[in-house]
Amino acid sequence: MRRIRSSLLITTVLAATFIASSAQAQEATPRERAASGSDEVIIVTAQKREQTLIDVPQSVSVVSGGALERNSAQTFQDYLKLVPGLQATQSNPGEARLTLRGINTGGVASTVATYIDETPFGSSTSLVNGAILAAEIDTFDIARIEVLRGPQGSLYGANALGGVLKYVTNEPDPDALEARVRGGVETVDGGKLSYLGSAVVNVPLGETFAVRATGFYRDMAGFIDSIGTAGSDVAKDINGYKSYGGRISALFEPSPMVSVRLSAFLQNLEGEAGNTIETDPLTLRKLNGRFTQSQYVPVFTDVDYRLYSGTVTADLGFADLTSVTSYGKLNETLRDDFTVFYGVQLGLYGDGPDRAVDIGLDQKNTIERFTQEVRLSNETDLLDWLVGGYYNKEDSGIHQRLDALVRGTLDVSDLLPQLADITLDSEYEEIAAFANATVHLAERFDLTFGGRYSHNKQSAEQIATGLLGAPPSASSSSEDVFTWSVAPQFEFSDNATLYARVAKGFRPGGPNLLPPDAPADTPRTFDSDSLVSYELGLKAQTPDRSFSIDITAFHIDWKDIQLLAVVNDYGVNANGGKAKSDGVEFTATMRPTQGFVASVNGAYTHARLAQDTPAVVGGFDGDRLPFTPKWSVATNVDYDWALGPDTDAYIGGSIRLVGDRAANFSPEFIAVNARQPELDGYATVDLRAGVIRGPFSVELYAKNLTNSAGRTDLSISSGYPALGEFPNGAVGAGVIRPRTFGITLGAGI
Closest by CA position to 567, among listed 529, 613, 612, 617: 617
The CA distance from 237 to 107, in Å, is 31
One DSSP character per residue, 211-256 reads: EEEEEEEEEEPP--BEE-GGG--EES-TT-EEEEEEEEEEEEEEET
Separation between Cα atoms, residue 309 and residue 327, nearest integer Å: 6
pLDDT confidence band for 21 (50 / 70 / 90): very low
Domain spans of the chain, in order of start:
2-748
Query: How do residues 613-639 score in pLDDT, each as one tens digit?
Result: 888 888 999 999 999 999 999 999 999
328-359 pLDDT, tens digit each: 999 999 999 999 888 877 777 655 556 789 99
Looking at the chain, the whole-number percentage of residues with pLDDT higher than 70 is 93
Is there a contact between 628 and 104 (Cβ–Cβ < 8 Å)? Answer: yes
Indicate the SS3 state at residue 663: coil
Residue at 569: amino acid letter: D
pLDDT band at 540 (very low <50, low <70, confident <90, very high): very high
**pLDDT at residue 352, rounded to an integer:** 53
Mean of the pLDDT values across residues 704-724? 86
Find, among 686, 636, 619, 559, the residue nearest to 61 by Cα: 636
Largest Cα–Cα distance in the chain? 80
* Residue 1 pLDDT exceeds 60: no
C-alpha span between 670 and 323 (Å, rounded): 51
- Rounded to an integer, the average pLDDT of 113-117 is 94
Confidence of residue 241 (pLDDT cuts 50, 70, 90): very high
Tell how far CA 440 is from the center of its chain: 35
End-to-end, the C-alpha distance of the chain in Å comes to 44
Q: Which of 464, 647, 735 has its CA nearest to residue 29?
A: 647
Is the pLDDT at 173 greater than 90? The verdict is: yes
pLDDT value at 8 more than 50: no
CB 174 within 8 Å of CB 204: yes
* Distance (Å, whole) CA 95 – CA 115: 16
- Cβ-in-10-Å burial (0-12, 13-18, 19+) of 709 comes to middle
Give yes or no for a contact between 309 and 119, defined as CB atoms under 8 angstroms apart: yes
Alpha-carbon distance of 105 to 608, in angstroms, equals: 10
Q: What is the DSSP letter of 515?
A: P
> Residue 7: phi, psi to the nearest 5?
-70, -40
Asked if 196 contacts 744 with a C-beta cutoff of 8 angstroms, the reply is yes
Alpha-carbon 682 to chain mean position: 20
**CB proximity list for 481: less than 8 A, separation 6 or greater:** 453, 454, 455, 456, 506, 508, 528, 530
- pLDDT digit string, tens, across residues 274-308: 999 999 988 889 999 999 999 999 999 999 999 99
Which residues, 6+ apart, have CB-to-CB distance to 531 below 8 Å?
103, 151, 161, 504, 505, 506, 556, 557, 558, 559
Q: In terms of Cα–Cα distance, which of 11, 246, 61, 67 is closest to 166?
A: 61
Kindly report the average pLDDT of the chain as a whole number: 89
Highest mean pLDDT among 27-31, 37-41, 419-423: 419-423
> Which pLDDT band, with edges at 50, 70 and 90, does 106 fall under?
confident
Q: What are phi and psi of 153, to 5 degrees?
A: -65, -35
Q: What is the predicted pLDDT for the residue at 346? A: 75
CA–CA distance, 337 with 339 (Å, rounded to integer): 6
- For 580-617, write each residue's pLDDT tens digit: 999 999 999 999 999 999 999 999 999 999 999 888 88
CATH architecture of the domain covering 2-748:
Beta Barrel (2.40)
CA distances from 519 to 282, 445, 461, 514, 516 (A): 32, 57, 19, 9, 9
70 by DSSP, 3-state: which? helix
Quote the pLDDT of residue 523. Answer: 75
* Cα separation, 3 vs 6, whole angstroms: 6
